[in-house]
Structure 1
Amino acid sequence: MAGSTLPRRALGRKLRDLRTGAGKSQLAAGLSIDTSKQTIGRLEDGQSVRISTPNVNALLDFYRADEDSRTEVIGLLQEVKAAKGDPSGGWWRAYADVVNSHFDHFMNLEQACNRLVSFQLTLLPGLLQAPTYRRWLVETNDPAMSAVDVERRLELTARRQHRLTEDTGFSLDVMLSESALRHQVGGRAVMAEQLQHLVEVGSLPNVSIRVIPFGVGGHPGLVVQSFTLFEFPPLSASRMTEPPVVFVEGFTGSLFLEDDDVIDRHRAVVADLRQVALSEADTRRLVREIAEEYAA
């Protein structure tokens, strides 16, 4: 994470939320610490600015931030200075004790992006998972997890999925290997339910689901492996485009990739995968056929 922009992004979003929640303008915020509204805008956009801890504390006083928000902001500021750590926060933080340590970063990006592109080789992404499918994954990953915490994990997934129906500015573009439909996660009944859910979600106007069938043979996704690409709306202050991020998850760790060359390579893979993937209509047809096989 050395040199990463992720901590600055998280800090900027939190300060923007506090300012708008307090009903203050960027101009007023700048005047409160003897700086310009442009500096406040760059700070909120996650750009590098010179700002001291006393200045941040003064902003928090101006915004009448509560103690929890103050603690979070100061912690994020320290992580920005260290250019490492696990900096982010939001409603999902209530579930921090039942998720992986990288999940704060992931959720911060998922909630801020306006477009999410995902390629998955073996499992469906969380935004598409039906409850019984998700339950099997949670219980298999951590058999010792209490029943209460399992339910909290399911609740977290359900809350994440609200973006699909409640946020008209958000779009989801998913490409799946056919193997993600064929692996019998949780058994045939669970998969029959999951694939029916996939058809329903895929009918939403802001969701695109396309399957890469076995028949196409080798394709770049087999080498690149599963990944998620986050793309963001223009920055509020400068209207510049916020750099995208690629997320790659492993069994014991994860990577957040921001290098321009890495982003370009993943975008090229997305373009190649689209060339061999079924259309959305043909995908729905295939998903229904496999669901019927499971239900038989």
Structure 2
Amino acid sequence: MTGSTIPRRGFGRLLRSFRERSQKSMLTAGLAIDVSPPTILRLEDGLPSKISTPQIERLLDIYQISFAERTEALEMWDLVKRQDKLAKAQGTSKGWWQGYSDVYKPYFDHYLRLEAAATHMTSHQLVLMPGILQVPEYRRALIRTFTPGMSAVDTERLLELAARRQARIVDNGLNLVALLSESVLLHQPGGTRVLAEQLHHLAEISERPNVSIRVIRHNVGTNPGHVVLSFTLLEFPPMASRLVEPPVVYIEGAEGALYLERGDVIDRYRQAISGIQAVALSEEDTRDLVLRSAKECSA
């Protein structure tokens, strides 16, 4: 997968495990290869870093790992370098979304990298449509609300970014499960006309085989969604036995975002998803409700 974060993130996690096991600090590791602790952090987080193979070999030396572990690490590093070269040759090394980086928040770049690599997304939303399902006028209304000073040109660029993200659904590159509170069908960014358009789009896209949309009615009472609130679970394809990419839970706030990867945390979110699905309408009943809501908006 060109531009995938999976090999780099897998390699970074492996290096972190070696460093922590050897009880070396990021400062110690950085001094050993003449880089700063933030560079070690970027390397371990799977973010692009200007690190050479000799520097990687030096890190492995100071971590005092076994021959087998060293061989595994260098094989993974070789895969990272080969994918980087392929991405550069194809002009995708920075990700197509980088051309829009001046109009979205800095923390969102990491999410876009993850989304581009994911093959399965589960989105639970209490208030608004998932971004990947928003029609242009719905998103335009949100931009006007949260970034009132944005120029018309930059607004159009954000809408273009959204359209390119949504293309993965149409191309069957992403399997999407959307679990929506009934409130999502009632809030009206842009007014009733925009909501009606949004709901018709929701009903239409829900018929795709790679999309499952289910609504949680208000009258079902307390359910796990009231505790975990809005979140997105991203899951990735297997690439090799040594590169099993763990899922990531993404939680966005007004001023930042959380990326959760710990196994026990992911398990709790999976349990929450099961609990939410247990009280949600079926896909067919959801589609009927969405179309009725759209008709009411259009009346």
TM-score by length of 2: 0.73
Tell me if 1:110 matches 2:85: no
1:188 — aligned with what? 192
- 1:218 and 2:222 correspond: yes
User: Does 2:273 match 1:270?
Assistant: yes
The alignment status of 1:294 with 2:288, answered yes or no, reads no
Three-state SS of the structure 1 residue aligned to 2:102 is helix
Partner of 1:251: 254
Q: Distance in 2 between matches of 1:243 and 1:202?
A: 27
CA drift at 1:237: 3.5
Match of 1:43 among 77, 86, 94: 77
Instruction: Encode CA deviations 1:157-192: one digit per residue, 9 max, x unaligned.
Output: 0000000011x3420011000000111121100000
For residues 151-170 of structure 1, the aligned pairs below 5 Å read 151-166=156-171, 168-170=172-174
Q: Summarize the Cα distance change of 1:6–1:257 in structure 2 as closer, same or farther, 3 Å threshold.
A: farther
1:1-296 equivalences under 5 Å are 8-11=45-48, 39=73, 41-43=75-77, 89-166=94-171, 168-234=172-238, 236-238=239-241, 240-296=243-299
CA contact (8 A) 1:178 1:211 kept: yes
Question: Following the alignment from structure 1 to structure 2, what is the Cα–Cα distance between the partners of residues 61 and 229?
Answer: 26
> Partner amino acid for 1:274?
Q
Contact conserved, 1:115 with 1:171, CA < 8 A, in 2? yes
AA paired with 1:275?
Answer: A
Change (3 A) 1:129 1:64: closer
1:229-262 Cα shifts (integer Å, max 9, x gaps): 011111x233653111000011111100111111
Contact kept? 1:114, 1:169, Cα under 8 Å: yes
Could you tell me whether the CA contact under 8 Å between 2:42 and 2:48 is conserved in 1?
Answer: no
Percent of aligned positions that are identical: 49
Letter in 2 for 1:293: E
- Any conservation in 2 of the 1:171–1:207 contact (CA below 8 Å)? yes
Conserved? CA contact 1:45–1:237, under 8 Å: no
Matched residue of 1:183: which SS? coil
Q: Is the 8 A contact 1:177 1:211 kept in 2?
A: yes
Report the AA paired with residue 161 of structure 1.
Answer: Q
SS at match of 2:176: strand
More moved, 278-287 vs 249-258: 249-258
SS in 2 for 1:256: strand
Q: Which runs of 5+ in 1 are unaligned?
A: 13-35, 47-55, 73-88
Describe the superposition over 1:128-184 as per-residue Cα deviations: whole angstroms up to 9, x where unpaired.
101110110111110000000000000000000000011x34200110000001111
Aligned 8 A contact 1:195 1:288 in 2 = yes
Q: Aligned equivalents of 1:96 and 1:61: distance in 2?
A: 20
Question: Which residue in the other structure is 2:62 paired with?
Answer: none
Give SS of 1:247's match: strand
One-letter amino acid of the counterpart of residue 257, structure 1? L
Q: Deviations over 1:181-223 (max 9, x none)?
A: 1111211000000000001111111000000011101111112
Give the whole-Å Cα distance in 1 for the aligned partners of 2:293 and 2:85: 58
Q: Is the 8 A contact 1:10 1:108 kept in 2?
A: no
Residues 146 and 212 of structure 1, relative CA distance in 2, 3 Å threshold: same
Gaps of 5+ in 2: 1-12, 17-40, 50-69
Q: CA deviation at 1:60?
A: 10
For 1:90 and 1:290, how far apart are their aligned partners in 2? Answer: 38
Distance 2:197 2:109 in 1: 29
Provide the aligned length of Structure 1 versus Structure 2. 241
Compute the TM-score of the two structures, normalised by the length of structure 1. 0.74
